[in-house]
Amino acid sequence: MKKSCLIACLLFAVLFAAAQPRVVSGPMLGPVELRDAKVWVEVSSEVKTTAIQVNKKGDATTRIINWKGELGNEFNPICFTVGALDFNTTYEYKILVNGKASGRGGEFTTKDLWQWRKPAPDFSFLTGSCSFFNEPVYDRPGKPYGGDSSIFETMAKEKAAFMLWLGDAWYTRDVDYYSEWGLWYRASHDRALPILQDFLKAMPQFAMWDDHDYGSNDIGKNYILKDASRKVFNSYFCNPSAGENGQGTYTMTTWGDADIFMTDDRWWRSADKTKELINGRPNPEKRMLGEQQMDWLKNSLLYSNATFKIIALGSQVLNPVSPFDKFADFPLEYEELMNFIREYKINGVLFLTGDRHHSEIIKVDRPGTYPLFDITVSPLTSGTHSFGGPEKNNPYRVLGIDEKQNYARFSFSGKKNERKLTVEFLGIKGEKLGEWSVGEKELKTP
């Protein structure tokens, strides 16, 4: 009798706690600029009002920004924009739920106004791709695909400017692919995992998608829930923008003397089985980026004065011997972009990619000008594999890491005209797995 009563009381306590207005996940930092910052959070359906309370660190004066959007839905991801900030200043914040402190909060520091005043600052950012969290009831049979999620605890301790998710920030399952509710559930479920919470608020988070956080494996523009998926993705990340004219998710950010162009390799993507050549010429019907995005990317590269111009894609770009999908398999666009970079003598271009479940740096020489590098970082927690087949002894590989979960730290340093990028590949506990660097002079047209 006593045991039954105890079980009933515990069950009631659990159900009562679950029904209370609360923060489901977050806070997560979005872009933090010179004068404003974005803070994301998801609240439960019982929440009637929510707000963010902000103050300069060390200053008791606070201000409250109320959320004026919709609440009360099954999924309630929201993004606060905090404006009228001072540059190079640290702020503290708290999330309020129904007028009371939720116990969730953090701090952020706005960018410094260095342009025309100081040398470009030294800084670093983190990056990685392929984050699978096991949920056995929906996972495929056999060995769990998700690995050691404590890698996010390690990353949370890094003093980095921001994190760039290179695609597959979550993995939709078979039960999710053709269910709009399932797409919302997958993003909400994975975002709420306790192992992620410290990392999400530790630094600003930027993201681009690939197939698994877009839809099913290798799917492209034919995905029937692409509009719903775009809405979910934009609801669970606070990127600076998301494509143009309601199309795509591409955007960019600038930190120090680096411009990072985050492309969308899914929205316009033709089926991978589409023929690459027609009568010996590139098939104009096979595209990855699409005309709208390609036009944006080319104009952005021409406009950029950054020392380093990092073009990020979900799929690898250069790897000539890869048997899997890559940008080079879309020859019309691939040749268009490569010819554009050469013709306009765009300096400082590097490619940053994910997807492959191994990390590597691919180098492709270009006679008469500087070589191009494709830096692949994968996986964070999903399954790994060994180099094999034509890639086992890839002659284009400068550095390779297989069979290990990892993330990368990109660090920018040095005096004007002598800037250097150092890439460190780091394991689950932060151990160094490999390092490579390149100077700005190595990325200039002769």
Give the CATH number of domain 123-443. Answer: 3.60.21.70
Whole-model pTM: value is 0.95
Question: In CATH terms, is domain 20-109 a member of 3.40.225.10?
Answer: no
CA distance 443 to 372: 8
The predicted structure's pLDDT at residue 60: 94
The domain spans of the chain are 20-109, 123-443
Inter-residue contact 395 to 382 (CB < 8 Å):
no
The predicted structure's pLDDT at residue 3: 54
CA distance 365 to 352: 17
CA distance 369 to 142: 49
Q: Is the peptide bond before 27 cis (omega within 30 degrees of 0)?
A: yes
- Residue 57's contacts (CB-CB under 8 Å, 6 or more residues apart) are 90, 91, 92, 107
Q: Is 388 exposed, middle or buried (0-12, 13-18, 19+ CB in 10 A)?
A: exposed
Instruction: List, as one string, the DSSP characters of 135-153.
Output: -TTTSPSSS-S---TTHHH
The predicted structure's pLDDT at residue 165: 98
The predicted structure's pLDDT at residue 2: 54
Inter-residue contact 157 to 250 (CB < 8 Å):
no
The predicted structure's pLDDT at residue 8: 44
CA distance 181 to 321: 39
CA distances (Å), 283 to each of 273, 278, 280, 287, 323, in order? Answer: 12, 5, 9, 9, 19
Instruction: Look at the block and give the residue holding tokens 């086992």.
Output: 392
The two structure tokens encoding residue 330: 């879309």
The pLDDT profile of the chain, 446 residues, written as one tens digit per residue, is: 455 555 444 444 444 445 799 999 999 999 999 999 999 999 999 999 999 999 999 999 999 999 999 999 999 999 999 999 999 999 999 999 999 999 999 999 999 999 999 999 999 999 999 999 999 999 999 999 999 999 999 999 999 999 999 999 999 999 999 999 999 999 999 999 999 999 999 999 999 999 999 999 999 999 999 999 999 999 999 999 999 999 999 999 999 999 999 999 999 999 999 999 999 999 999 999 999 999 999 999 999 999 999 999 999 999 999 999 899 999 999 999 999 999 999 999 999 999 999 999 999 999 999 999 999 999 999 999 999 999 999 999 999 999 999 999 999 999 999 999 999 999 999 999 999 999 999 999 99
Which secondary structure element, helix H or strand E, spans residue 353, and what is its range? strand 349-353
CA distance 118 to 121: 8
Inter-residue contact 194 to 242 (CB < 8 Å):
no
The two structure tokens encoding residue 265: 């390799």
